[in-house]
């Protein structure tokens, strides 16, 4: 069998490669050193390849925005967070504003931090309900809007972005749950983005809740479109509908998010193995239940395990109990049901 030999990732100039190595060694160690070296090589290659100035500006701004956002969020990585999306045009007198505010307060009371787009409407309701101390603002600079709302303006946890794609990355990367209230194109874009990432395994599993006041019809009409216009056409599967929930009560929505993290802590894919970390040791009856109920998506397992070598190497929650299994990495709606089973069975 012919072995594939990967070409070393280097700049064309050996002089530049040596300088890059010196910088990497000076500022990092271990895996971080190699990652920093590769990032610097990428920057060197951009210079070598004489990219279009517009492309260089895009890369430059993207790196600056992500660096600063990572810096802001890094101090709060041990806190659960929920992102709230919804219309900037919602008025404080609207019922949607009031339920968003109530939900954000319930989140803060449950020790969750709240992330919003920092603008008016539903975003303002989220920051107001949570309070500045429990809020993040992820603002987008637009020619006609938007200024940060008074409940996050001037706070150190407000981050400004030029690009929507870097902003959306931070919304999803840093949150442990997503709550959507009625809104326009932006809300739909953000909602479909997080559902697509969940459906394809490109983000970690999390609660996705469509929230509006009792008697509201926005999400009911939306669901009709999803079922009649997408599901019935075969563009999604029935299991994909399990990725999200439609709810009409702020406190119950927050209870649902807390339940998701009752026993389930986090997930990690180590090559072909799926590792689920737990807050509480799993009883054998639950392991047997999962084997029977989810054999359609599990090629093997689950079984109890200690931390895998990769987790040990990265010092990832070594104190937590775990199970490992061979998940098909295809049916993520069913994976959401498996996690719900873990949380409800003991």
Element at 235 (helix H, strand E): none
Q: What is the pLDDT of residues 121-130, one digit of tens each?
A: 999 999 999 9
Q: Taking all residues of the chain, what is their mean pLDDT, rounded to a whole number?
A: 95
Please, which pLDDT band fits residue 1 given cuts at 50, 70 and 90? very low
**For position 145, what pLDDT does the model report?**
59
Assess contact for 178 and 114: CB atoms under 8 A: no
Rounded mean pLDDT of 84-88?
98
pLDDT, position 142: 81
Residue 2 pLDDT greater than 60, yes or no: no
Q: How far apart are CA 43 and CA 32, in angstroms?
A: 17
Mean pLDDT of 251-275: 97
Q: Which of 19, 43, 23, 41 is nearest to 33 (CA)?
A: 23
Please check the confidence at residue 214 and state whether its pLDDT lies above 90: yes
Least confident of 5-9, 169-173, 314-318, 335-339: 5-9
On the question of pLDDT at 250 being above 60, the answer is yes
pLDDT of 44 higher than 60: yes
The pLDDT score that the predictor gives to residue 29 is: 82
Distance CA 167, CA 61 (A): 12
> Measured between alpha carbons, how far is 109 from 105 in angstroms, rounded to an integer?
6
287: its two tokens: 């392991």
Percentage of residues of the chain with pLDDT beyond 70:
97
Residue 329 clears pLDDT 60, i.e. is over it: yes
**For 98-123, b where at least 16 C-beta lie within 10 A, e where not — what string?**
bbbbbbbbbbbeeebbbbbbbbbbbb
Longest dimension (CA), the chain: 70
Confidence bin at 61 (pLDDT 50/70/90): very high
Does residue 244 or residue 30 have the better pLDDT? 244
Q: Identify the pLDDT of residue 313.
A: 86
CB 40 within 8 A of CB 46: no
pLDDT higher than threshold 60 for residue 66: yes
Q: Tally Cβ neighbours within 10 Å of residue 3.
A: 4
**Which carries the bigger pLDDT value, residue 231 or residue 51?**
231
Report the CATH fold assignment for 81-260.
Rossmann fold (3.40.50)
Q: Rounded to an integer, what distance in angstroms lies between the CA atom of residue 304 and that of residue 89?
A: 49
User: If DSSP codes are grouped into helix, strand and coil, which group holds residue 33?
Assistant: helix
Using pLDDT thresholds of 50, 70 and 90, give the confidence band for residue 143: confident
Distance from C-alpha of 129 to C-alpha of 320, rounded to nearest angstrom:
33
What integer pLDDT is reported at residue 314 of this predicted model? 87
Domains of the chain, residue spans: 14-74, 81-260, 264-344
Distances (CA, A) of 229 to 158, 226, 235: 38, 6, 9
Question: pLDDT-based confidence at 195, cuts 50/70/90?
Answer: very high
């Amino acid at each position: 069998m012919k072995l594939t030999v990967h070409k070393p990732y280097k700049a064309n100039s050996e002089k530049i490669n040596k300088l890059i190595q010196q910088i990497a060694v000076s500022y990092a160690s271990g895996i971080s050193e190699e990652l920093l070296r590769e990032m610097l090589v990428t920057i060197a290659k951009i210079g070598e390849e004489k990219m279009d100035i517009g492309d260089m500006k895009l890369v430059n701004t993207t790196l600056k925005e992500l660096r600063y956002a990572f810096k802001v969020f890094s101090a709060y990585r041990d806190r659960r967070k929920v992102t709230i999306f919804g219309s900037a045009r919602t008025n404080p007198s609207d019922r949607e504003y009031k339920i968003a505010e109530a939900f954000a307060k319930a989140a803060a009371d449950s020790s969750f931090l709240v992330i919003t787009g920092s603008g008016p409407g539903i975003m303002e309701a989220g920051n107001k309900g949570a309070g500045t101390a429990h809020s993040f603002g992820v603002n987008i600079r637009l020619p006609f809007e938007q200024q940060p709302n008074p409940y996050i303006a001037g706070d150190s946890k407000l981050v400004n972005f030029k690009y929507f794609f870097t902003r959306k990355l931070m919304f999803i990367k840093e949150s442990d749950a997503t709550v959507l209230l009625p809104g326009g194109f932006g809300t739909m874009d953000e909602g479909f983005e997080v559902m697509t990432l969940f459906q394809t395994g490109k983000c970690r599993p999390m609660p996705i809740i469509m929230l509006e006041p009792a008697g509201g019809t926005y999400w009911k009409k939306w669901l009709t479109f999803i079922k009649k216009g997408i599901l019935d056409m075969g563009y999604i599967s029935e299991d994909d509908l399990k990725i999200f929930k439609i709810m009409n009560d702020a406190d119950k929505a927050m209870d649902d998010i807390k339940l998701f993290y009752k026993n389930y802590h986090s997930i990690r894919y180590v090559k072909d193995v799926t590792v689920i970390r737990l807050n509480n040791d799993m009883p054998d009856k639950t392991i047997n239940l999962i084997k029977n109920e989810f054999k359609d998506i599990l090629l093997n397992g689950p079984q109890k395990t200690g931390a895998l070598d990769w987790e040990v190497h990265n010092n990832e929650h070594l104190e937590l109990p775990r199970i490992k299994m061979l998940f098909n990495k295809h049916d993520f709606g069913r994976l959401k049901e498996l996690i719900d089973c873990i949380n409800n069975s003991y």
